[in-house]
Amino acid sequence: MATTHPSSTDNTIKDRLVALLDEWMAAIVTNDAARIADYMTDDWIMVSENGITPAARFLALVESGALSHSAMQRVSDATIEYRGNVAVLTVRATNTAHFQGKRFDADEWTTDVFVETEQGWRCSLTHITAVTTE
């Protein structure tokens, strides 16, 4: 079996995707719905223990102030696989959110599916799994 090594193009794309994810996390902490939306496709959805949340609902909650974030960051290296114009990034991240006045601190594994569009790479799906410590 032949061993393949990532090309410099692979590393450049992966580095760009990690930087993009970090930028998106920083945008989320600004609580600026329009800025957050710049990183998402129009049909973005988030899957979590609460079910499926479409982009319009998530952004409306942010815009209304019902949902805000005061912290969000990667706490692990990203695992990235991409084929053509689709990339899957998985990282462990922590965040502090406030929903309807109640604070939530989360430690989660997140998997984001990015697609390359005319505007650049945009996230089309986020799946969140809470980290459990036993």
Entry pTM: 0.88
Tell me the pLDDT tens digit for each residue of 44-93. 999 999 999 999 999 999 999 999 999 999 999 999 999 999 999 999 99
Tell me the pLDDT tens digit for each residue of 35-45. 999 999 999 99
Strands (E), the chain: 40-48, 51-54, 67-74, 79-83, 86-99, 102-117, 120-130
- Taking CA atoms, 83 is separated from 13, 33, 80, in Å, by 11, 29, 10
